């Protein structure tokens, strides 16, 4: 079966999803896929590692071939992904980075607490590394765990500049394992990222090949009735929303990689009988969320974003962009096991294998059905109805009593099919949105929707994972081993995650970075509670540089320290920040094209 991909090329669907068996770049050699021996070797074991206190890194370009089309990737020391850097807690590391590109480059050490001038964000912490130039990063490593590094220069992360960091704790690992592998998941595209960005700006659903069709309408009508199906479609259309709008860039242009290897290439990690295996999962992708499981094996999650947590055993977990999870598995049988990481929109997958010897493979499960966003994903709590099965209700809202809902921010003209007689609007200003701290936020060019009653629960694993018959990790399961010094905060700050999907504009509080009018200012030494409210139908992974985000439960109890926090559609989350790092810091959505489109702020601690 052939299909037209988003770039206009007719490719066999199976090859396009899985990639070529020997696709990639030969480490340090820049060879095409014709060097079968080198490519087969690259599929075995972890990427090449660098250890010690002094590191020489060179940013350059090399040709790659993942899909049958030759392209040029951005690499470090001739590798994609970049080498694993192994540090020791307490050591001072020096990293000399040379830039062999024709444009300015950079490396950001994601999740690492360090001085601002070592953070690697051009325009904030330094000027960037010019073509032919170098920059020496030097800092003391005060933490342990699994992290990663990547470029913070335009779209170089998308073209391959990312790699793992493993920091050995002073006192040894809390959970011993006989094998230790990094599993870096990423998304590769043959399309120039500048073209992807331009396509999204012109048509935000350009890569959404999963839209509902006449056929899906007929199937739904047979399942839930013609009237309910018609009303549900009518309501989504009137609100100019699309329940299939899960991700901006899909598997129709992406090939998903595991440690730089295509699914057909089958990266393999070896284990011996009776051994415990530690898998350090890193989402180093630019735009993709992955749902990870190893069919037949339980996974015990022991660390999140590099920080030890109380162990929790699950069948599956969602890993957002820039997040890391450490899991322990114990393969009990002398057979191969598939590491399966399907994209959130089910348009493709990355995969690897755990095996007792080279050359083995295990069955790769079928992709789960493509999920749809619910009304709860758009409207939040809906007056306490967020847990209801809105699909079973047929989404017929006409007779629903919404008198208790704050509808002030909604475009009522777009909701003409609803029974407005049952809504009590009173004297509200429907053009303004009262969103707590800050000036009123209006819908319009910058903002196309506002969630009236955001939900605050952390026990929802997310769209596509709810009630799927597997034990799925949620943020409510994450409990840090060590509690913070104090739960008290000096002040609170509320920010809304906003956007206009059709125009592909993304922002905080309805203002893109270029229009923000100045940085967010924190006083050195103060503790601030930051509350994020997601006014969009997309999940946003929000990353604050330089400081930990101490995630809170809905009742204000400390949960876990994270460097990147996923905020689901129509969700509100809060975390405490100790402003203990002087300098200028980046604060942004880690969806790369969202960040470039404006969901970025500067935070100044002084």
Domain 2-173, CATH class in plain words? mainly beta
Measured between alpha carbons, how far is 433 from 338 in angstroms, rounded to an integer? 48
CA 390 to chain centre: 26
Q: Given this model, what pLDDT does residue 14 score? A: 53
Q: Indicate the helix (H) or strand (E) that contains 202.
A: helix 193-202
Q: Given this model, what pLDDT does residue 434 score? A: 36
E strand map for 89-132: 92-99, 108-110
Reference 439, options 491, 489, 494, 492; nearest CA is: 494
Complete DSSP assignment for 367-430: PPPPP---HHHHHBTTTTTTTS-TTTTTT--TT---TTS--TTS-GGGGTTS-GGG---TT--T
Measured between alpha carbons, how far is 33 from 543 in angstroms, rounded to an integer? 36
Query: What is the CATH number assigned to the segment(s) 371-606?
Result: 2.60.40.420
Q: Given this model, what pLDDT does residue 377 score? A: 79
Q: Given this model, what pLDDT does residue 392 score? A: 34
pLDDT in tens, 164-210: 999 999 999 999 999 999 999 999 999 999 999 999 999 988 887 76
Q: Given this model, what pLDDT does residue 210 score? A: 64
Would you list the domain boundaries of the chain? 2-173, 371-606
Q: Given this model, what pLDDT does residue 333 score? A: 81
* Residue where the block lists tokens 């690697």: 120
Q: Indicate the helix (H) or strand (E) that contains 509.
A: none
Q: Given this model, what pLDDT does residue 10 score? A: 39
The stretches in the chain having pLDDT less than 70 are 1-17, 26-47, 210-221, 228-244, 382-444, 485
Helix/strand/coil percentages in the chain, nearest 5:
10, 35, 55
Q: Which residues of 539-557 are buried (b: 16+ CB within 10 A; e: fewer)?
A: bbbbbbbbbbbbbbbeeee
In this prediction the pTM is 0.85
Q: Given this model, what pLDDT does residue 40 score? A: 53
Q: Given this model, what pLDDT does residue 433 score? A: 35
Evaluated on CA atoms 162, 164, 170, 175, the torsion sign reads: positive
């Amino acid at each position: 079966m052939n299909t037209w991909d988003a770039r206009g090329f007719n490719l066999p669907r199976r090859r396009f999803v899985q990639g070529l068996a020997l696709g990639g770049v030969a480490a340090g050699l820049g060879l095409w896929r014709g060097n079968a021996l080198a490519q087969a070797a690259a599929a075995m074991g972890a990427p090449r590692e660098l250890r010690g206190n002094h590191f020489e890194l060179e940013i350059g370009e090399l040709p790659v071939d993942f899909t049958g089309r030759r392209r040029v990737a951005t690499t470090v020391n001739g590798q994609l992904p970049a080498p694993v850097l192994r540090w020791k807690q307490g050591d001072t590391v020096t990293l000399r980075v040379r830039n062999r590109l024709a444009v300015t480059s950079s490396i950001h050490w994601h999740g690492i607490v360090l001085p601002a001038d070592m953070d690697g964000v051009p325009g904030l912490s330094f000027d960037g590394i010019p073509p032919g130039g170098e920059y020496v990063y030097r800092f003391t490593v005060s933490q342990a765990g699994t992290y990663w590094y990547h470029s913070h220069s335009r779209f170089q992360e998308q073209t391959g500049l990312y790699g793992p960091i493993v920091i050995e704790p002073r006192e040894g690992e809390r959970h011993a394992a006989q094998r230790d592998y990094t599993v870096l998941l990423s998304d590769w595209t043959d399309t120039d990222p500048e073209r992807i960005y331009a396509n999204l700006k012109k048509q935000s659903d350009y890569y959404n090949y999963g839209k509902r069709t006449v056929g899906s309408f007929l199937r739904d009508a047979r399942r839930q009735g013609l009237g309910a199906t018609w009303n549900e479609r009518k309501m989504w259309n009137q609100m100019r929303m699309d329940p299939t709008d899960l991700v901006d860039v899909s598997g129709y242009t992406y090939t998903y990689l595991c440690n730089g290897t295509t699914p057909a290439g089958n990266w393999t990690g070896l284990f011996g009988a009776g051994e415990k295996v530690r898998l350090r999962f890193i989402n180093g992708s630019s735009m993709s969320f992955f749902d990870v499981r190893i069919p037949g094996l339980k996974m015990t999650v022991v660390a999140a974003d590099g920080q030890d947590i109380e162990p929790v055993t699950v069948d599956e977990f969602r890993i957002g962009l820039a997040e890391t999870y450490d899991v322990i598995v114990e393969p009990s049988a002398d057979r191969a096991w598939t590491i399966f990481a399907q994209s959130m929109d089910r348009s493709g997958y990355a995969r690897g294998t755990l095996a007792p010897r080279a050359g083995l493979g295990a069955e790769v499960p079928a992709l789960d059905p493509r999920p749809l966003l619910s009304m709860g994903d758009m409207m939040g709590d809906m007056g306490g109805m967020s847990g209801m099965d809105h699909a079973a209700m047929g989404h017929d809202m006409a007779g629903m009593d919404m008198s208790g809902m704050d509808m002030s921010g909604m475009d009522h003209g777009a909701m003409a099919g609803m029974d407005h007689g049952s809504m009590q609007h009173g004297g509200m200003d429907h053009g303004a949105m009262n969103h707590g701290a800050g000036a009123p936020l209006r819908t319009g060019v910058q903002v196309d929707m506002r969630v009236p009653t955001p939900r605050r629960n952390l026990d929802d694993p997310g769209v596509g994972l709810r009630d799927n018959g597997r034990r799925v990790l949620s943020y409510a399961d994450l409990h840090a081993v060590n509690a913070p010094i104090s739960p008290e905060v000096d002040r609170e700050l509320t920010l809304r995650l906003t956007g206009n999907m059709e125009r592909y504009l993304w922002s905080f509080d309805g203002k893109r970075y270029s229009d923000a009018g100045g940085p967010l200012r924190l006083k050195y030494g103060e503790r601030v509670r930051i509350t994020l409210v997601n006014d969009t139908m997309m999940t946003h992974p929000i990353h604050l540089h330089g400081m930990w985000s101490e995630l809170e439960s809905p009742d204000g109890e400390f949960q876990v320290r994270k460097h990147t926090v996923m905020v689901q559609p129509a969700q509100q989350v809060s975390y405490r920040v100790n402003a203990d790092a002087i300098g200028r810091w980046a604060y942004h959505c880690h969806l790369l094209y969202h960040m470039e489109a404006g969901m970025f702020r500067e935070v100044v601690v002084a």
